[in-house]
Amino acid sequence: MPGEAGHILRLHLFHVLQTLSPHTAELDVGVPARGLHGEAYRGHVFWDELFVLPYLNLHFPEVSRALLHYRHRRLPQACRAAADAGRAGAMYPWQSGSDGREETQTFHLNPRSGRWLPDHSRLQHHVGSAVAYNVWQYCQASGDTDFLHTKGAEMLLQIARFWADTAVLDPDHGRYRIRGVVGPDEYHDGYPGAGRPGIDDNAYTNVTAAWVLDRALELARTLPEPRRRELFERVGLDRAEPELWEDVSRRLLVPFHRGVISQFDGYQELTELDWDGYRARYGDIRRLDRILESEGDSVNRYQVSKQADALMLGYLFAPAELAGLFRRLGYAMDDDIWRATVEYYLPRTSHGSTLSELVHGWVLVRARRAEAWRYCQEALLGDVADVQGGTTGEGIHLGAMGGTLDLVQRGLTGLETREEALWLDPVPLPEPSGLSEYRFAIRYRGHWGVALRVRAGRLWISVPDSEERPIEVRLADRSLTVAPGESHWLPLPSG
Ligand code: IFM
């Protein structure tokens, strides 16, 4: 593996650009989960663009913008889906094809048992928050306020509206609850023996919903006139709605147990799995759902996750931002709680999705944990070694491919684009990582070639003299302005 990382990343870049490039930016193209290389999922679009857009945002912002237009063209369909479900706003589909209607299967086959089983994965309404997150991140990276104030705001407001209408105030808790959903961990689609599908108060769903509501409020407050008035008219915003959004965004319930975030309400009451026993018996236990069902059991009974779920929060939000989000919700969240949460879910996750190792790699890199690189390597090997046991032949995994490129670009450099500055917090690279030196140039808020290079414990940043404006850079211990024509070598913290 050492030395191969660069080759694999180039292969990933090839697949990303083959599927999404300036040549597709003029077309009505979404992000198919399996790229252009196979028939798995029938070419459907899920939430996987959440892992691809961050890379595109900093290289081909026009492609990201086109992908967001793709979602915007399907906003009316998402609003119809919400209305059909008796809700306000926009309910984006979990799986969709050309016209944006929900196309998730209602039954799926367990090839191990040969049985067809009900499929409730369409309850992954968190896909809407992924669309909103992508809007926000794209606009932060590109500085495209025109999109943010028009189509972007329209999507954000409609998604926020959906969450505000879906959350129900529970007087016993004094908090809003979102019930009957499925989180990113697709293993848990209901409580054991319950007569209804879905689980309640999925922490990822609720925290991201609160984030969307907060962003929608920020937009509603800061939009310049006459755009504000036009937008409010277009979405038919009732004056009372922002008040409700404020309340919901501060009082959504996030369950905890034993000092960690609970994946969902009641997770801690589920049975612990005998992981060693199952490993000894089956070897590869990534698809525990299939194994357990074939034994006449159900994965819903166990504290077992297919992929990162609560830990997805550490992928979307850097520690300080996550702490702020929890604070706003009236919960304490510090490094100890987060560390304990990571410790709790790591051994309870089977990594039955290529997205899982990618997200764990990210989360552990951010936490500067030694085993981070093991997960990063697994994420890199996803398709070249077909780690999911035969799925690559049905199509590559575009989310994991885009995500690994972004892991190097933003994860290892700690790069964030917010508050009109470029934030950098590089991670010391373990040896041998195959990535002891790497460089790339990004497009950032109208700049064409901000160059970054990581090498021998130092980070180099340069702004070409062809640029017109300086950029603001924030590091953990200092801020600097890098003017056109300037470059700086900055020491990395030792690891
Ligand atoms: O979107 C993913 C999901 O998170 C896990 N199962 C496969 C989907 C498509 O890649």
> Which ligand 1 atom is at minimum distance from the Cα of 186?
5
User: Does the beta carbon of 33 sit less than 6 angstroms from any atom of ligand 1?
Assistant: yes
Ligand 1 pocket, 46 CB below 6 A? yes
CA of 476 to the centre of ligand 1 (A): 34
pLDDT bin (cut points 50, 70, 90) of residue 271 is: very high
Q: What is the mean pLDDT of residues 449-468?
A: 88
State the Cα–Cα distance between residues 67 and 10, nearest whole angstrom.
22
Per-domain residue ranges of the chain = 2-418
Does residue 399 have its Cβ closer than 6 Å to ligand 1? yes
The C-alpha angle 176, 179, 183, rounded to 5 degrees, equals 110
Residue 72 backbone phi and psi in degrees, to 5: -70, -35
Q: Pairing mode, if any, of strands 421-424 and 471-475?
A: parallel
Q: Which of 74-78, 125-129, 310-314, 432-436 has the lowest mean pLDDT?
A: 432-436
**Residue 429 pLDDT > 70:** no
Name the residue with the closest Cα to ligand 1, atom 9. 33
Q: What is the pLDDT of residue 432?
A: 52
Residue 305 DSSP class = B
Work out the mean pLDDT of the chain and round it to a whole number: 94
Q: Is 49 a catalytic residue?
A: no
CA distance 158 to 235: 8
- Which pLDDT score, from 0 to 100, does residue 431 have? 59
For 196-205, the pLDDT digits (tens) are: 999 999 999 9
Name the fold adopted by 2-418: Glycosyltransferase (1.50.10)
Q: Which 8-state DSSP code applies to residue 349? A: B
Q: Is the pLDDT of residue 457 over 60?
A: yes
CB atoms within 10 A of CB 305: 28
**Can you tell me the mean pLDDT for 232-257?**
95
Give the nearest ligand 1 atom to 398 CA: 10
pLDDT of residue 493: 63
Nearest to 180 by CA among 194, 193, 170: 194
pLDDT of residue 472 exceeding 70, the answer is yes
Q: Residue with the nearest Cα to atom 6 of ligand 1?
A: 353
- Judge if the upstream peptide bond of residue 226 is cis by omega within 30 degrees of 0: yes
- Work out the pLDDT band at 1, boundaries 50, 70, 90: low
**CB distance 48 to ligand 1 below 6 Å:** yes
Cβ contact 180:202 at 8 Å: no
What's the whole-number mean pLDDT along residues 391-412?
94
Nearest-CA residue for atom 7 of ligand 1? 353
Max mean pLDDT range (19-23, 366-370, 386-390, 463-467): 19-23
**How many CB atoms sit inside 10 A of residue 239's CB?**
7
The DSSP code sequence of 132-199 is HHHHHHHHHHH--HHHIIIIIHHHHHHHHHHHHHH-EEETTTTEEE--SB--S-TT-SB-TT-SS-BB
